[in-house]
Structure 1
Amino acid sequence: MPVTVTRTTITTTSSSTVVGSPRALTQPLGLLRLLQLVSTCVAFSLVASVGAYTGPMGHWAMFTWCFCFAVTLIVLVVELAGLQAHFPLSWRNFPITYACYAALFCLTSSIIYPTTYVQFMSHGRSRDHAIAATTFSCVACLAYATEVAWTRARPGEVTGYMATVPGLLKVLETFVACVIFVFISDPYLYQRAPALEWCVAVYSICFILAAVAILLNLGECTGVLPFPFPSFLSGLALLSVLMYASALVLWPLYHFNEKYGGQPRRAWDSGCGSRHTHIVCTWDRKLAVAVLTGINLLAYLADLAHSARLVFVKV
């Protein structure tokens, strides 16, 4: 049974586009999605034409732009054909969930691709294409972020959970966890101490629980839980805050404190001395995980505060 949210009064959510008709493309949201489609298409086309996506960072950027282009195309086709009722996921929740993920994907690509790849390229046609692709990636990021701001829940509206602040925070929490998993993909970063293995367990458990909350809403299956869905959300937020707080203490302590075998200075990591195009050195990975842990802790704190204030109405 789907869950909707209201703060004070229940009103009818206005339609942002005229669906099932070519007129949908002339509406503001339709034009915004066309901009997303074009900008991601141009970005991966520019890079693919000169093969400027070697290494993991280049592959990440290429995957981001291709994935966003493909899913945005699906969203446009579904709306133009009026197939929302036949879509396997909740159309109240899916478009804004995807737009939020796409904005975060394009944001990371717009930062990582130029800093870890483009700046090491020699001047020429390939570098010019890569710079232009980065520009279009930034445009796509702004377009997706604008859609999120445009379609998020307003006070007094009845809408899907994923359009609310806690729903959008769930997207941020899972995305940040995925980036953490990328940085800790090498087991030697956490296998030397049980405390570090606990940190990895924290990232994994919290990610799984947040992903379950998102999937339950996308599948409109919140009623299958043996307890009220709002209680699940509040408990999830509280548990995640406590677990991430422990990880925020333990991860830096064991990686940057000499007493626990850490390296407090970047210069002590020999791998950070070489300016390699496609590699992020170990010390930088550890620091990135520490920063991302703090970001996710703040996200879960905000999630807990908002979840405690929301009133859920089953319809």
Structure 2
Amino acid sequence: MEFTGGGRLEIRVTSADVGKRVSVRYVTGSGEAGGMFTDAVGVLTSWDDRVLLITRRTGEAVRIAESSLVAGKVVPAAPARRRGPSATFPELARATARAWEPVESEALGGWVLRASDGFTRRANSVLPLGDPGLPVAEALAYARQWYADRKLPAYVQAATGAEGTQELLCAELDRLGWRREVSAEVRIGALAPIGDLDADVSAVRLSRAFDGTWLRRYRRFGEPGPAVRALLTSGPSVWFASVAGPDGVPAAIGRCVVDGRWAGFMAVEVAPELRRRGLATSVMTALARRALDEGASAAWLQVEADNDGARALYDGMGFAPHHHYHHYRWAEA
């Protein structure tokens, strides 16, 4: 990482660069007694009261005292990914949203307020994909009341880590008292290699519908209400996969939504006692082959940042991180 100009370290960032991607070097600890150089790369989301706030790709916010800076510069957006499909953040954000349509929604300028009786944060959060037409604080106040009217907690889903994502909004949410509750990666990959995997798909049953036993393996809710069924069947072209289990409950399940060139994989679940036997791979391979038949060529999925087992599986299938998304909850007094 080169910061020098004519052999000297230079600080070539200012408060006028808020909103740009920067790389800085700063001193941690005591600069006079054992301080160490540390680098930070991310979006400069604020520079107030002699403190910089840099939001990294993962959404982690780093606060740096102006006095500790030793070098810094504006850097271009991360280079395009060399493997798998290309995708802009707006395209992918809209495709993922169409695969999980809420029961109720309302547009607020370029924001969408979504509610589904509390089933999943994705379907019960604000999706900000443009200008709300109001100052952000006013738009958030409107959203808080909208969710309060439905007796739901107020959430905002915001993204970091790709060109066009929402680092500035994340910083504003934090400043206004919203707290990040959970984060996940959106990963993308080419679809054909998944369909070409040498997996046993003979036991995988594909269907346009699901039954009560499929829901028993899903286990993401208590008693399934109308919102659960409505959400799971939403999307342009929806497929459900299941592998029969010994007790009448599927040993493995999965869901895939085909939408133009995209195939989105969700709800891939395997019975705990049957994991690491290739069942998840078989389910995804069978769904990928069906999506290829419908003309899809690219795949996406979402995985929580702490799910190491799933991340390893998807690494092996060729999925690479595209961006991170975070759910911010209003921290009520």
Give the TM-score band, short-chain normalised. Answer: under 0.3
TM-score (structure 2 length as normaliser) = 0.24
User: Normalized against structure 1, the TM-score is what?
Assistant: 0.25
Hey, which of these two has a bigger chunk of strand by percent? 2
| Structure having the higher Rg | 2
Higher relative contact order (CA 8 A, sep 6+): 1
